Chain A
Amino acid sequence: MKQLKYALFTGCTAKESTPEQMMSTLAVAKKLGIELIELTEASCCGASHLQDYDDFLSLVLNARNIAYAEKHALTMVTICNTCQLNTAMTKHRLDHNAELKAKVNEKLAEVGLEYKGTSQITHFLYALIDDFGLDKIKEMVVKPLSQFNIAPFYGCHNIRPSELQNETHKGHESAYTPTSLDDLIVACGGLSVDYVEKTKCCGFHAELQAPRTAAVLTGNAVAGAMDANADWMVTPCPLCHLKLDTQTHHASVAIGRDVSLPVLHMQQMVGLALGCTSEELGLKHHVTKVDFV
């Protein structure tokens, strides 16, 4: 198989509050022989909040990020659901609106750049599944996670809205019955547990503005996984991870029940199955202790 190569858009969280996500991404890519060229010039995607304040500015900045992937002539790979949504949404809007694309390019020309629309955008989860292949991952598993019940938590911005996700995820992910993360758990030898909250919101984006709403959503998600007898949760989104890993005290108070489970990044789960060490995967960085390794 030709070596896979992507332009890596890390997003901000992997550089700050989830260093373990960056570590595990690089560790898994190395194990699988995937080359990642980090887009060190990339800016924050705006995380859907800059978009509320200044939509045009967010378009220009996201177009600039994609333009750098285009300079490498590579597909951009993201490791954050919200980065994925904002970047893919920018691409969708610019590719379907010539006037808007021209306005954005007028700005990018000021710094010698142009958005052409030639690079695709995908999340590392879908790069593993669609491009590398579940069967190949399964073949490379050296430490199957067979003793674990694992609760997938998809995160909103990888599965909704369908119209956009079907463009970027080759049309195989349903907003209501997604399978990618479940399939990846199974490929790693684990048992994927089913629960209603796996496709629901974690509340991250309303944490400061609507703390009670956010805390109840976090509590419901962890409680759902616990009631499904999960040993731990896994998510492709570092923002969901932050909420589920660090906010369980507030969530427990909000729903009137003690809730807490270890929450692994999708890359950490794959890394464990591939035989990476806990140091390589940064498991010591979790607030809710990962005590099964």
Chain B
Amino acid sequence: MDALTSQKVTFKVFRFNEETDYLPYFNTYTLDVTHEEVVLDILNRIKWDHDGSLSYRRSCRHGICGVCSIKANGKGILACKTRLFDLVETFGNEITFEPLSTKRAIKDLIIDKKDFWDKHAAVNPYITGEIDENPVQEHLVSPLDAEKLLEADYCIQCGACHYSCPAVAINEEYFGPAAFAAAYRFSADVRDEDSLERLHLVNQEASGVWDCVKCMECAEVCPKEVNPIEKITKLHNMVFEANIAKNNVATRHAVGFAHSIAKHGLLDEGELVRYSEGNIGVLKHVPVALKMFSKGKIVLPWNMPKADKLDEIKKLVKSSSTVKF
């Protein structure tokens, strides 16, 4: 073994059997790791050489089936695709392996992904359309139309984004980034006839796209570079373009920026809250607003700053706007 291409790494591995354990615990292993090895190789070596009871999911070993996803030092990864030396470069030579969601662990690194699959299924992740049962030729999609899918069809449903999403962790109704990437993938497909219905689904409060916290975790963690938050943004756009955006706090919050920029060039923060919440809803922000006011953090309407060359901004808002609400 070449000394330059191997090193000792300590692994802390999450252990829990829901049938016998009250609490999870960690087992620690120190192994010599070579530069060729991926995380799955290490899990295999631990199982084969140290503890045959260690459980984890594995299948294709080619980064395409998505079943071996776990977390390494909190980062969602595909075990079969992630090189150990890359993890060591990021985190040092102490690596912790955990299931994607510790609260959903069944046995060691295996989780129950029911919530993930239920949410995936809820967005109708398939093409709906009239199909000629005896077609004379293939249903062709132009390269330009195929490009509109962006990378959404690369998703392998590994769940790394779903279980890294802070909104999913807090709000059980929230569909999550993988389901939204699927929703976008089929709604953007020119063959689909169910796009509007799917947009209505993702337009719901609590479960829908408006509850995204915009943290970019899903884009960061995706092992297939699907960039789910880009698709969430596209779904936002499609909801407005389809003219089905409900008049609620979430949509007004987005639209309020356009109004404010057209008026001041800058965002009128106080007015945005009032516009988004409405005249009654805004009252719940009064206690915080009063505290901010006492600290000189609220600009009164007559002191609202304006961008220089506001006429330019107004002209561009008028000529470049592509949607109406």
Contacts and interface: CB of A to CB of B under 8 A. Distances in A.
Question: Do A and B form a real pair?
Answer: yes
Interface of A: 12-13, 15-19, 40-44, 46-57, 60-61, 64, 85, 107-108, 110-111, 113, 156-157, 160-162, 174-177, 196, 200-201, 203, 205-206, 208-210, 212-214, 216-217, 246-247, 249-250, 284-287
Nearest to B304: A16
Contacts of A50: 254, 257-258, 261
B288 A213 contact: no
A51 B276 CA distance: 16
Q: Chain B interface: which size bin?
A: 35 or more
B322 A210 contact: no
A205 B312 contact: no
B237 A64 contact: no
B308 A41 contact: yes
Shortest beta-carbon contacts, A-B, top 10:
A160-B216, A52-B236, A201-B215, A50-B257, A53-B254, A12-B267, A209-B250, A111-B312, A205-B214, A210-B211
A115 to B, nearest CB: 12
B149 interface: no
A130 to B, nearest CB: 20
A18 B267 contact: no
Contacts of B299: 15-17
B139 interface: no
B292 A206 contact: no
A214 B213 contact: yes
A43 B307 contact: yes
Given A176-B74, A209-B250, A64 B312 contact: yes
Interface stretch (B27-35, B56-64, B166-174, B182-190): B166-174
B18 interface: no
A201 B217 contact: yes
B217 A160 contact: yes
Interface string B243-272: 000000111011111101100011101100
A43 B213 contact: no
User: A42, A54, A287: which has the most chain B beta carbons within 10 Å?
Assistant: A54
Given A52-B254, A208-B249, A43 B214 contact: no
Contacts of B296: 19, 284-285
A213 B74 CA distance: 20
Contact of A213 (B211, B277, B287): B211
B110 interface: no
Given A107-B320, A156-B215, 17 more contacts: A16-B267, A16-B269, A16-B298, A41-B309, A44-B265, A53-B251, A53-B255, A53-B258, A56-B320, A57-B322, A60-B320, A61-B316, A111-B312, A160-B217, A209-B253, A210-B167, A217-B170
Given A156-B216, A200-B166, A61 B261 contact: yes
A85 B215 CA distance: 11
